[in-house]
Amino acid sequence: MFVLEQNRGPADALPRLPDGLSLRPLEACDRERVVSVLDEWWGRPMGGLLPRPFFSEFRNTSFVVEQGGELVAFLVGFLSQARPDEAYIQAVAVAPGWRGRGLARLLYQRFIEIASGYGRCRVRAITSPRNTASLAFHERLGFVIQLPADRSEDARAELVLELPEPTSVDLESANAFAAAAALEHCCPCRWSRSSQSRGDTPPIWPRRPLTATGA
């Protein structure tokens, strides 16, 4: 195994799944029960927020939390096709009786880990500018909140989280996205597609020392 590494400080403690709960990828068969609780858990009609393809095409980036087969929480997200450096969270919800136990944060952390592994450096989401609890939650996670001038019920606040630079990657793993991201992010100006289109010279020296170790 060869690993490309950068030195970093101590990582923040990751949330743990409470005893008795399990987390797994979203399945097509989950659609009926997720849709059945959507309006209740959100507290308002959500219409066509989650059409059928979300349950069959984004399994790698969408999850459910269960207790003995009972739905407790879920997150639906995907890797942006239009913006290859971004990922998007479409919907996340926790059953009213399970709120305040860190499940939403755990789901976000899981999604962020997956998105980062695919080389994504930014996560986006939206929420209502009237939803102060959601705004506060995302702010605690490090999202930058872009509030609209219009604060009507149909308005949406943009939420943007810039992900930390990758610090290690297994060069022999099957995920080439993570390797490419680590190599790109270690460079001082993160030579991007926009840099290439401007004719910029690609960076040469890494921001921090990199080492490849074999085992």
Task: List the chain domain ranges.
Answer: 2-121+163-214
Identify which has the larger pLDDT, 55 or 78: 78
Distance CA 64, CA 169 (A): 27
pLDDT over threshold 70, residue 205: no
Give the tens place of pLDDT for each residue, 16-65.
Answer: 888 899 999 999 999 999 999 988 988 777 767 888 888 888 989 999 99
pTM: 0.72
pLDDT value of residue 2: 37
From residue 50, give the alpha-carbon distance in Å to each of 44, 75, 91, 179. 15, 11, 8, 32
Determine the average pLDDT of the residues in 74-102.
94
Handedness of CA 185, 191, 193, 194 (dihedral sign): positive
Give the tens place of pLDDT for each residue, 111-169.
Answer: 999 999 999 999 999 998 988 999 999 999 999 999 988 777 678 899 999 997 655 55
pLDDT value of residue 18: 87
For residue 55, give both structure tokens: 């349950």
Q: Which DSSP string do the residues of 134-162 spell out, in sequence order?
A: HHHHHHHHTPEEE--S--STT--EEEEEE
Distance CA 89, CA 26 (A): 14
Rg of the Cα trace of the chain? Answer: 19
Ramachandran class of 133: left when φ > 0, alpha when ψ lies in -120 to 50, beta otherwise: alpha
Provide the CB-side half-sphere exposure for 185 (13 A, CA).
Answer: 25
| CATH fold group of domain 2-121+163-214 | Aminopeptidase (3.40.630)
pLDDT value of residue 44: 76
Which residues, in sequence order, are bridge partners of residue 76? 91
From residue 14, give the alpha-carbon distance in Å to each of 53, 73, 90, 103, 183. 30, 18, 22, 12, 25
